[in-house]
Amino acid sequence: MCIEKKSDYLMESSRLDLTLKHLNIYYDKTIKTVAKIDEEVEYGIRHFNSDNAEQFNELVINSVLQSNLKTKVQNLVQSLNKPYFSRVDFKEDSSDEDENLYIGKTSLMNEETHKLLVIDWRAPIANLYYEGRIGEAHYECPEGIINGVISLKRQYSIENSNLKDYFDIDITTNDEFLQASLGANADNRLKDIVSTIQAEQNRVIRADMWKPLIVQGAAGGGKTTIALHRIAYLIYTYEKTFTPDNFMIIAPNRFFLNYISEVLPELGVDKVIQTTYEDFARMVLGKKVKIREGYIKLGNIVNKSMSSNIGNSTVKEISHFKSSLEFKDLLEEYIDYLEESFLPDEDFKIYKFKLISRENLMKLFKEEYKHLPFKKRIDEMKKHLNNVLKRNKQKLLDKVELIYDEKLNQIRHKMKDGPERRKLFIKMTDERDLLLEKIKKQSKTLVNDYLKKIEYRTVEEYYREFLEKLVDSKLEDILVKDTCTSTIDSIIQNLYEIEDLAPLLLLKYSIFGLDEKITVRHVVIDEAQDFSLFQLYMLKTLIGSSSMTILGDLCQGINSYRGIEDWQDVTNKIFTETKSTFLKLDQSYRTTVEIMDKASSVIEKLDDEKLPPAKPVLRHGDDVSVIELDSYQEICRNISMDIDNMESRGYSSLAIICKTLDECMKIKKILKGHNKNLTLIQGNEKKYNGGIAIIPSYLVKGLEFDMVIVANGSKEMYAFNQMDVKLLYVALTRPLHKLNIYSLGEKSNLL
């Protein structure tokens, strides 16, 4: 170590010691506060009195404080191990002195001087580290743009509170620190990357929350990790406006949720809603809808074990149609039909006296309360009808009295007094009294009796009626007919597919409304290329906002038959009222140059400008091997040797990727004879514990492994069509370090 670096090293060690000293003081104080609050909460629960409002409020406040302190303690424990990861020396134009800005996962203040010892990575000034370069620089904050000069950018390797090393840098793309991070092995969980966030990733993280953000991200570009860091950033930035449970991330499946489960806690964020579209739909629908998992249908399509046709239409064509905005428009036409026929076909009247005409009732229902779902419109109309009845009841009774008074006067004038007149008088008076009593009695139940004539059905029943009417109206359209008849057959079995969820949600929202208000204010969607435009439309409708972050990779759109094929469609057809932001993550940080070159050569076969190839970080590794063999036994012998080699290299995770589940089972059965401990992933698993996994191609998206073996990249297995190209591309972009491809016979032309 040179004299200058040694001197700096001693200074940095001293600075680390000072930071740790203040951290420990703050940690001890926080622990004492936690103990005090715990005691107060326990006392409040033990002596709870529901009649004491002040005590109840105090208990609620202390419970919230207890939860916040728990998160703070977790953050402090992490900080004690590594309080910061970088430093930027910045001199503002209006200042004479450099500021030494130390950046970490959470901020720390010197309580004596009230100066920040550590700045939270999400603070505006921390942007100097992520995007600034040595020389003139600026950052934006609430006060405006702050200009100045960066004289130093430094990254630290700190482990267990000890300074191991540091690196002086200019940009954070090809430096030693990033290379060391990229060279690490994959784990069974995703990790945070706050110390190595790159400029293009940083722009995604810090993008305006109020504009819809669409991100086309290359395989290995860190989309999922960046999505989670964006949530952490938004919670920090809007902490006075929103709570963590105002944010929701939607992942492709529960298995994937487990894979990303540790990132947000590592970033000091708790209570963010993490769910799948299916589970979110079940929550909104308020019932356990039996859904055929999307991976089952996709697996059947890939396996070709599901009949490729339903009637005269393919499964893909039907899925595409049900996922389309055209299908949404047809459903909205049906909802308009329901609106016209929802109210009873009669006036609102008591006895023979009309209080409101049906025409005026329809005007109320369709115009005055148009912004509400049908059921809530009826609730408002009930109030209105009660008010009308209340205002008019006495007038009506007086009118009846007046009518009969006139009749009685006519009898007086036309008939002489006598038994006949008296008899008629009594009859007329009894008739009046009976009618008055009838009106009084009928008025008690009049509104409810009228509204009882409205026929409510279940969401599923409405959906079925819509499909039946659609068939009748478009008998000549084969695709419509096949879609409707196959869906009705499924409804009869109480079984729905993911494509049915958006229509069910639209019916629920339009007719019944939400059982509970959705408090989500921002949605982050990962693997969004597999979402349909109809699904996105419903998410936007349900949260009542365009505040969404949509991340995906069209190159990995293995569900493109029902998903998004062009991000421009999302901009032009979903976010029509708000200008959206479109950003790209072109750089791939996962794989080596050799692996990415092979993957890019596959996706380029589609010759589609909407499918941008990834640009690998300059990290080299082993060449990709493609070996043709004559039998599965030979392939498995080679795989067995690869596993031994993987273990000798110190790799902790390996995936054997087969195109289909059937092939996975075949390979696993043969490998069992080699005494290999394999985990077969079929799609219903909730977690992956690392090690050696054998997994079908359509389930591997979003995951990464130290080493990947494509078990059979043969010509027969991967043909030249969009589905096969994308499945193979996904498989080839999973490894960090090593990729081997075997082929049963002649290799695919894609390779």
Percent of the chain with pLDDT over 70: 95
Mean pLDDT of 336-357: 91
Q: pLDDT at position 311, please? A: 63
More confident residue, 2 or 134: 134
Of 47, 173, 223, give the one whose Cα is nearest residue 585.
223
Cβ atoms within 10 Å of 462's Cβ, excluding its own: 22
* DSSP assignments along 140-184, one per residue: EETTEEEEEEEEEEEEEEEETTEEEEEEE-SSSSSSHHHHHHHTS
The C-alpha atoms of residue 717 and residue 571 are separated, in whole angstroms, by 36
CATH no. for 205-286+518-588: 3.40.50.300
Phi (first) and psi of residue 717, to 5 degrees:
-80, -40
User: What's the whole-number average pLDDT of the chain?
Assistant: 88
Which stretch of DSSP H or E encloses residue 335?
Answer: helix 325-341
Label residue 645 by pLDDT band (50, 70, 90): confident
Give how far Cα 201 sits from Cα of 119, 130, 587, Å. Answer: 20, 9, 9
Strand 348-350 to 353-356 pairing:
antiparallel
Q: pLDDT at position 173, please? A: 44
Dihedral sign, Cα of residue 584, residue 586, residue 588, residue 589: negative
Q: pLDDT at position 694, please? A: 94
The C-alpha atoms of residue 615 and residue 221 are separated, in whole angstroms, by 9
**pLDDT above 90 for 295:** no
Phi (first) and psi of residue 57, to 5 degrees:
-60, -40
Buried b or exposed e, range 697-720, using 16+ CB within 10 angstroms:
bbbbbbbbbbbbbbbbbbbebbee
Of 583, 517, 501, 155, give the one whose Cα is nearest residue 319.
501
Residues of the chain with CATH 3.40.50.300: 205-286+518-588, 603-744
Label residue 566 by pLDDT band (50, 70, 90): very high
pLDDT, tens digit, 9 for 90 and up, residues 168-185: 887 654 445 555 555 555
More confident residue, 209 or 188: 209
**pLDDT above 50 for 510:** yes
Cα dihedral 742→745→746→750 (10° resolution): -40
pLDDT, tens digit, 9 for 90 and up, residues 13-41: 999 999 999 999 988 988 888 888 888 87
CATH superfamily of 603-744: P-loop containing nucleotide triphosphate hydrolases (3.40.50.300)
